[in-house]
Amino acid sequence: MPRRTHTYGSGSVWKTDDPRRKKKWVAQIYLGVDSQGKARFQRSYHATQAEARTWCAEQLRRLQAGQIVPSPLQNLGDYLTRWLEEAVRPTVRPGTYDDYARLVRLHILPALGTRPLGKLTPLDLMRLYRTIQESGRSARTTQYVHAVLHRALDQAVRWGLIPRNVADLVDPPRPARTEMQPLTVEQVKRFLEAARDDRLHALYVLAVTTGLRIGELLALQWGDLDTERGTLHVQRSLRRTSAGLVFQEPKSARSRRVISLPTLALAALRQHRARQLEERLKLGTLWDDHDLIFPNEVGRPIERQNLIRRSFKKLLQQAGLPAIRFHDLRHTAATLLLSLGEHPKVVQERLGHSTIAVTMDVYSHVLPDLQREAAAKLDRLLHDSRTD
């Protein structure tokens, strides 16, 4: 048999020199590899070359249609372990890898880990999703599991291990959109007043005036601040991974951005810097300097959960405000700007959304009020024109 490089979707036909064979023409299709990495084939012998080619074409058609199981010996668990290490870890940020690995470990492996990769069916996935939801997990978790499986099985198709991605045939449950709770102007004033004596007062001022994500706020360094131009350069994010707290690239290319700061934020940052210098002088060599604008009491990065539990939630209670999420401060910044008539494109750039469509979709609840205001302005304009 001639030496060939085997790829999924390919077959071969050749004439054998074996004198014991009455049917001299050999047809073969490639079925991927088993759990030990050994190539597997399906082979048939024929009297003529035409018969061999016909058989080969028919088997490849059946393989594409999912009527032939290509690799029953490799189970899904073994494949996902290999996929995480070879296809995911080198291509994503550490935090993203940890998210994928956690979803695989907690949800996919217990239910489908021993299922042969080549025998996975849409019904298997539907049962998995139902099990996740019956355990009390949210539809969002189910959607994340589906996304991981879909990406993993796409890679299996490209590697020639399976003929099709069965996740294409399954629709995960649509998650209910988390209701945002932006603060009103009056509530923002009460919140910032409650935070006035907090060592992280400037962080909260930035949160409600810039809409930065919590990881972006905690990763800011003094070198990112240009006081002369009144701008802030967002170029990293802080996140906890299996390796500990790490600084990483922002969420997307659009998340790397330069934001103009209002006078209120610049004043808060100046006061914050003076206070931080006093803390550093008191600690001396004990201060662990990372040039962070918002470090903990010894200069190190702040755990976001510590910020939320020890500071943010207490300030909400002190101000008599509802127990909103920290992320709602981001929504507050966007809602305030849109309510002031700011163009959505500007809001998109300040928030670091990938497209303006994302901004319009997330904050569509603000648009009806803006539409009514636009109609009222037209009424006033045309009414004044008739009066003249």
The residue ranking higher by pLDDT, 15 or 10, is 15
The residue ranking higher by pLDDT, 212 or 158, is 212
- End-to-end Cα spacing for the chain: 94
E strand or H helix at 33: strand 25-33
Check residue 1 and give its pLDDT: 45
The residue ranking higher by pLDDT, 17 or 34, is 17
CA pair distance 188, 201, nearest whole angstrom: 13
Q: Which residue type occupies 144? A: Y
Check residue 9 and give its pLDDT: 58
Asked if 238 and 224 count as a contact pair (C-beta separation under 8 A), the reply is no
Mean pLDDT of the chain, nearest integer: 86
Tokens of 154: 């796409």
pLDDT exceeds cutoff 90 at 187: yes
Query: Residue 210 — very low, low, confident or very high, per pLDDT cuts 50/70/90?
Result: very high
Determine whether 273 is exposed, middle or buried from the number of CB atoms within 10 Å of its CB (0-12, 13-18, 19+): middle
Asked if 326 and 306 count as a contact pair (C-beta separation under 8 A), the reply is no
SS (H, E, C) 79-111: HHHHHHHHHHCCCCCHHHHHHHHHHHHHHHHHH
Per-residue pLDDT reduced to its tens digit, 215-250: 999 999 999 999 999 999 999 999 888 778 888 887
Instruction: Reduce the DSSP state of residue 183 to 3 states and report it.
Output: coil
Query: Residue 8 — very low, low, confident or very high, per pLDDT cuts 50/70/90?
Result: low
**pTM exceeds 0.75 for this model:** no
pLDDT exceeds cutoff 90 at 360: no
Average pLDDT over residues 56-64: 81
Asked if 220 and 254 count as a contact pair (C-beta separation under 8 A), the reply is no
Average pLDDT over residues 68-80: 72
pLDDT exceeds cutoff 50 at 3: no
Check residue 387 and give its pLDDT: 54
Check residue 283 and give its pLDDT: 93
Query: Residue 60 — very low, low, confident or very high, per pLDDT cuts 50/70/90?
Result: confident
Check residue 368 and give its pLDDT: 60
Per-residue pLDDT reduced to its tens digit, 275-305: 999 999 999 999 999 999 999 999 999 999 9
Asked if 68 and 40 count as a contact pair (C-beta separation under 8 A), the reply is no
Q: How far is CA 193 from CA 226, 301, 318, in A?
A: 26, 25, 10
pLDDT exceeds cutoff 60 at 109: yes
For the chain, helix (H) and strand (E) counts, in that order, are: 16, 8
CA pair distance 346, 344, nearest whole angstrom: 5
Percent of residues, the chain, with pLDDT higher than 90: 54
Q: What share of the chain is helix, strand, coil (3-state, %, to 5)?
A: 55, 10, 35
- For 158, which DSSP code? H
Q: Which residue type occupies 365? A: H
CA pair distance 239, 295, nearest whole angstrom: 14
Instruction: Reduce the DSSP state of residue 32 to 3 states and report it.
Output: strand
